[in-house]
Amino acid sequence: MDFPVELLINAIIAGVLLGGFYVAVTVGVSISFGMLDIVNIAHPAFIILGSYLAYILNSRMDVDPVLAGLLMLPVFYALGASIYQVYYVSFEMRGREALSGLAFFFGILFITEVALILVFGVDYRYVEAAYIGPTLRFAFVDLPYRLLVPCVLALTMLAVLQLYLSRTFVGRAIMAVSQDQGALALMAADPIKIKRIAFGISIATAALAGAFLIIIQPVEPSVGREYIGRVFAICVLGGLGSLPGTVIGAMILGIMESITATFYGPSWAPAVSFGFLLLTLAFRPSGLLGR
Partner 1 sequence: MQSRIFLVVCIAVAAAIFAFARWLGSEYLFFAGYVVVQFVVLATAWNILGGYCGYVNFGSAAFFALGAYTSVFFHKTYPLPVPLLILLGGIVSGIVGFGMGYLTLRLRGAFFAIATLALAVVLQTLIINWNYVGGSRGAYTIRPPSIDILGATLPYMQYLFLLMLLLAVVAIMAARTIERSRLGFGFATIRDDELAAEACGVPTLRLKLIATTLSGALMGMAGAPFPYYIAYIEPSSAFGLAYAVNSIAMPMIGGTGTWIGPLIGALLLGSIQEVARVTISSAVNLLIVGVLLVSFVIIAPNGIVGLVQDRLRARKK
List residues near partner 1 by CB under 8 A.
33, 39, 41, 86, 90-91, 94, 96, 98-100, 102-104, 106-108, 110-111, 113-115, 117-118, 222, 225-226, 228-229, 232-233, 236, 267-268, 270-271, 273-275, 277-278, 281-282, 285
34 vs 171, which CB is nearer to partner 1? 34
d(C-alpha 238, C-alpha 234), whole Å: 6
CA distance 201 to 80: 7
Query: In whole angstroms, how close is the CB of 89 to partner 1 at the nearest point?
Result: 9
Longest alpha-carbon distance in the chain: 68
Measured from the CB atom, the residue of 98 and 136 that comes closer to partner 1 is 98
CA distances for 83 relative to 125, 160, 188, 195, 246, angstroms? 27, 24, 24, 11, 24
Please state, in angstroms and rounded to a whole number, the distance separating the CA atoms of residues 204 and 94. 27
Q: Strand ranges (DSSP E) for the chain?
A: 135-138, 141-144
Nearer to partner 1 by Cβ, of 139 and 282: the residue is 282
Q: List Cβ neighbours of 229 (8 Å cut-off, separation of 6 or more).
A: 270, 273, 274, 277
Looking at the Cβ atoms of 73 and 253, the one nearer to partner 1 is: 253
What is the 3-state secondary structure of 4-41?
CHHHHHHHHHHHHHHHHHHHHHHHHHHHHHHHCCCCCC
Give the nearest distance from C-beta 148 to partner 1 in angstroms. 28
Q: Among residues 27 and 189, whose Cβ is nearest to partner 1?
A: 27
Three-class DSSP category at 95 = coil
For residue 112, the SS3 value is helix
Q: Quick one: 95 or 182, whose CB is closer to partner 1? A: 95
For partner 1, the closer of residues 4 and 275 by Cβ is 275
Minimum separation from the CB atom of position 227 to partner 1 (A): 10
Nearer to partner 1 (CB atom), residue 244 or residue 275: 275
Which residues, other chains included, contact 103 with Cβ-Cβ below 8 Å and sequence gap of 6+? none
* Strand 141-144 with 135-138, pairing: antiparallel
CB 232 within 8 A of CB 278: no
Shortest Cβ 49–partner 1 spacing (Å):
15
Please report how close the Cβ of residue 107 comes to partner 1 at its closest, in angstroms: 4
Nearest approach, Cβ of residue 158 and partner 1 (Å): 22
- Cα–Cα distance, 207 to 75 (Å, whole number): 9
To partner 1, the closest distance from the beta carbon of 94 in angstroms equals 7
Rounded to the nearest whole angstrom, what is the least distance from the CB of residue 68 to partner 1 in the complex?
Answer: 26
